[in-house]
Amino acid sequence: MKTSRSRSGLLLASLLAMAALAPLPASADTGFSALRLDLSGLESLGPGYVYEGWIIVDGEPLSTGTFMVDAAGNPIIGADGQVSRNYVDMGLYYAFSRNDEWRAQLLQRYAEVMNTVFTEERLLTLFDEMVESVRGEMPRTIDRWNWPSSMDRWEREIATMREHIAQRREGAKNMLQSYYHLSDEEMAALFPNG
């Protein structure tokens, strides 16, 4: 049996950029809607490779599990043999979000992390370091696995991922402003450096 490999480090930016959130019906237990991460239309990575989802909890990365995709690019049975969990119950979040003090603290913390940890400069620096750490291995990887098909294709994919990272911060801010109905003045206060 071939060991599954994860390309999560370099695919994280693309996966985040493609993710779309969709509400589910209300839970009978909480009365609140759940939130589902729709990951349809993903590219098949080939035999022995899996996608891996990640979230950041208290500043630390936490794997949400691995999954493969079918021919249509939809998640299927995970590498661990279990049916992929493709949703997260957000009932508790929705309950908290009704509290004005909690909401204000959430917005402050979100902005603090965006302004210090998830800056475009820091993310691109980390990404470039990851790329450079594997660049020397790519010719052998291409020879062995024929994926990507060439160094030129790999470089194009790296350029695309850099673009996603560079655009992600602005997209996240736009989503925050839209979801919480924040004015331009409130956004300027949360993100004084843009």
Summarised one tens digit per residue, pLDDT across range 8-24 is: 333 443 334 333 333 33
Question: Can you tell me the distance from the alpha carbon of 98 to that of 148, in angstroms, rounded to the nearest whole number?
Answer: 47
Q: What is the pTM of this model?
A: 0.53
User: Which of the four pLDDT bands, split at 50, 70 and 90, describes residue 38?
Assistant: low
Give percent of the chain above pLDDT 70. 67
Query: Is 59 within 8 Å of 117 (Cβ atoms)?
Result: yes
Q: Among candidates 114, 42, 112, which has minimal Cα distance to 72?
A: 42
Contact 140, 175 (CB under 8 A): no
Question: 3-state SS of the chain?
Answer: CCCCEECHHHHHHHHHHHCEEEEEEECCCCCCEEEEEECCCCCCCCCCEEEEEEEEECCEEEEEEEECECCCCCECCCCCCCCCCCEECCHHHHHHHCCHHHHHHHHHHHHHHHHHCCCHHHHHHHHHHHHHHHHCCHHHHHHHHCCCCCHHHHHHHHHHHHHHHHHHHHHHHHHHHHHHCCCHHHHHHHCCCC
Cβ-proximal residues to 145 (8 Å cutoff; 6+ apart), any chain: 46
Q: pLDDT digits over 117-156, tens only?
A: 999 999 999 999 999 999 999 999 999 999 899 999 999 9
Provide the mean pLDDT of the chain. 76
CA dist., res. 17 & res. 20, Å (int): 8
Structure confidence at residue 70 as a pLDDT band (50, 70, 90): confident
Model confidence at 89, pLDDT cuts 50, 70, 90, reads low
List the chain domain ranges.
1-93, 99-194
pLDDT of residue 126: 94
Greater pLDDT, 189 or 91: 189
